[in-house]
Amino acid sequence: MLAAIRSRRVVRAMTDEPLPRATLEEILDAARWAPTAGNRHLQRFVASDDPGTLRALRMVSPGMLQRPVAVVAICVDRDLAVDYGFARDAHSLSVDVGTAAATVLLAAHALGVGGGPVTSFSRAAAGVVLDVPAGWTPEFLVCLGHPAQGGPGEMRRGTRVTWQDLTVWAPRA
């Protein structure tokens, strides 16, 4: 499992080869296993592999550098969140979005599918394009497709960081 985590990369160039629907469904099945706050599963998914829908989605998503053959929109069911006692805009809802995104990206990688996250998009317009159900808000897009050569390069600054670069130890009690 650690090898999968270490070898996963953001894919910014994708071929136009379609993904089998069974592969997309396997990724979605994996997504349901993402950890959630209180096991409430307030995250929801809207998937599309329709070329017309994907073209329209790219028009409202400046961060979508790829030309994916499928996309998974990770949404929050805000009506259900309110029913559980969360504020409609509770920050904690973002945690479930993050764990779902990580799970989708790792599942895609495990299946040999490239994945790229997108957070720069119009939530309102993406909701219309994807026909997101009432009460849900799209929060994160995962572009999916077969990795291609070329395209936008890797976004790296300087040298690779280590865990030690990112970590401080809390004082002992």
pLDDT digits (tens, 9 = 90+) for 36-94: 877 888 999 999 999 999 999 999 999 998 899 999 999 999 999 999 888 888 888 89
Q: Which residues pair with 106 in a beta bridge?
A: none
Contact 94, 139 (CB under 8 A): yes
Q: Name the 3-class secondary structure at 92.
A: coil
155 has a pLDDT exceeding 90? no
Q: Does domain 2-148 have CATH number 3.40.109.10?
A: yes
CA distance 5 to 143: 18
Q: Using pLDDT thresholds of 50, 70 and 90, give the confidence band for residue 125.
A: very high
Least confident of 15-29, 96-110, 152-166: 152-166
Helices 21-31 and 93-110 cross at an angle (nearest 10°) of 140
Per-domain residue ranges for the chain? 2-148
* Residues above pLDDT 70, as percent of the chain: 94
Contact 153, 13 (CB under 8 A): no
